[in-house]
Chain A
């Protein structure tokens, strides 16, 4: 079902930050902000929580490490012990490089996969752009009508005062 949004566009990141702060001060919920680059300080202004994705890295890294140790131990000590230069079968130190490489490989891939899942990015997805040029030189602040029943006139005025270039209502499939 399409929802209706109020989209304010800016050409200046500073003005956008102003607007975000002003909107939050009025206790309006911000649906999202769209920008051509990550604006520093916007996380705090929008009240976006720090992502928990690094936990994926940590957990998968631990599993990968455990797997690498077990796998090398199993193949070299249990499955087919091979006498190489009289060295002990369980040459733990010699397993370190592969343990490290597998930890990095699997945790890195898992982190990126988790990002794609969380941010719902997948090949062939049709992009939903709230304003033209948000991947080029435009910044957009978007308020959703349904989840935050706000006074349209007040919100418009607020955004106008913060220096929005253009404010319009849009119906978008989300």
Chain B
């Protein structure tokens, strides 16, 4: 790699001493070096132009699925959960599978926005806004399932402790992982929403100053809270963002750990495992990156944002997918090993049944998608081929949905006593509500890319403009410079 001379703080400090300062060129995450004005124009353009045909077609399909969801959930409320394929053996099936699937999808957003911020990974700047939006919509979809799978969904608020307690002195059982889950998911949704909104305020101010229509101006003025770009505010704002990232980092790890405890604290073979929390977190990040790839591959080309979401970004995301995919594969192996080595009859039978029983096809589909597919990403060619990555990302999503199905339904359908065994077959309502949740997710996402800036303009400007090389190379102290004397 060639080296170029970069002036430090506007002047080369070593120049006076007659030494030429040289350092590696900063990694570039945006193509063609756009000016600050270009960045604003490029990212604001989709919000100001009329949506294209492609957007309308996607929105039409997504909205139809959302209407279907509304209809089916209404029918569900009227009739009860007997319209699903649940029975005495399998009391949790598509509903909880979908719940875990959607919560998992959300994890990539927080990973990108919080963990990668703490690690000072600049490539996050192009994708963090849309990944965070994806998190919020995915957690919304997830939160819907536990509520609608209750026998009396209108009493769903009973899961929260509240004042005044109208249930006499009876409180929720704080020892139950299901209650932990309620707290984890609602905290996660709230903090993600706040983090997402906070990150958007400067961009909303940019849009406010560009807006021509009265309604637009009013809406953006309301949302941008009078932001005027003051550096004193910027200084506080950056620290608060870091603090929130610091809070969100353990939060994101806790959420799927707690979700996994819904299963791990039970005694059911296939659920009762100590490996579940890290295994679920890795799986969540894996599936989340799968979904981010799917969404960004589509939006970068339909919204003409290839300049900001480059092949290098896709390459990075593919690498994270590959790594977490391998952690997931390792967890699969460990489960089988423990079942054999542990010597528990029921545990052993469960894993034999998983690989050879009536649902074996689900298991092999899961292995194909989650173990074999990520291995293809070792090749750089594969990681930079948009079409190939798109197929991989869809496979990841399918694989991770089936992983949860295998964990939940296959464990339940043949537990201890053979007299309690049974089969689960989904009904039209199981499938319809799953499809409908995708409708809800994509409707929200498509509205988001039309109404709000899907790339963080101010962060891109910071990366492209002054200070980018310093952020990449030095630590907290801005005065510190990592320089190689030649």
Contacts and interface: CB of A to CB of B under 8 A. Distances in A.
Given A38-B237, A44-B478, A108-B194, A129 B231 contact: no
A127 B244 contact: no
Interface string A42-54: 1110101011011
B210 interface: yes
Nearest to A129: B228
B485 interface: no
A174 B161 CA distance: 45
A26 interface: no
Interface string B191-211: 100100010011001101110
A107 B247 contact: yes
Interface in B33-50: 35-37, 40
A135 B202 contact: yes
Interface stretch (B53-61, B171-179, B306-314): B171-179
B420 interface: no
Contacts of A36: 36, 202, 206, 229, 457-458, 461
A121 to B, nearest CB: 4
Contact of B478 (A12, A41, A104): A41
A97 B265 CA distance: 14
Contact of B180 (A44, A87, A98): A98
Interface in A48-88: 48, 50-51, 53-54, 57, 71-72, 75-76, 79-80, 82, 84, 87
Contacts of B224: 127
A2 B226 CA distance: 18
B4 interface: no
A52 to B, nearest CB: 9
A126 B187 contact: no
Interface in A15-47: 15, 17-18, 32-44, 46
B144 interface: no
A116 B225 contact: yes
Interface residues of A, number: 70
Nearest to A136: B40
A34 B234 CA distance: 9
Contacts of B230: 32-34, 119
B232 A32 contact: yes
Interface residues of B, number: 74
Interface stretch (B16-24, B67-75, B346-354, B466-474): B466-474
A57 B35 CA distance: 37
Nearest to B233: A119
Contact of B10 (A14, A51, A104, A133): A14
Nearest to B37: A137
Q: Which of A91, A101, A102, A105 has the most CB of B within 10 A?
A: A101
Given A97-B184, A112-B244, A136 B206 contact: yes
Interface stretch (B80-88, B250-258, B379-387): B250-258
B231 A137 contact: no
A129 B221 CA distance: 13
B171 to A, nearest CB: 4
Contact of B236 (A13, A15, A42, A115): A115
Contact of B205 (A44, A50, A105, A127): A127
B462 interface: yes
A51 B231 contact: no
Contact of A101 (B187, B205, B229): B187
A94 B231 contact: no
Q: Which of A36, A57, A98, A128 has the most CB of B within 10 A?
A: A36
B231 A34 contact: yes
A48 B206 contact: no
Nearest to A162: B10
A44 B477 CA distance: 10
A135 B235 CA distance: 16
Given A84-B173, A124-B222, A109 B231 contact: no
B227 A121 contact: yes
A130 B462 CA distance: 21
B174 A94 contact: yes
Contacts of A104: 187, 191, 247-248, 250-251
The 10 A-B residue pairs whose C-beta atoms are closest, nearest first, are A125-B226, A13-B466, A40-B467, A137-B36, A121-B225, A75-B171, A41-B478, A33-B231, A38-B234, A97-B180
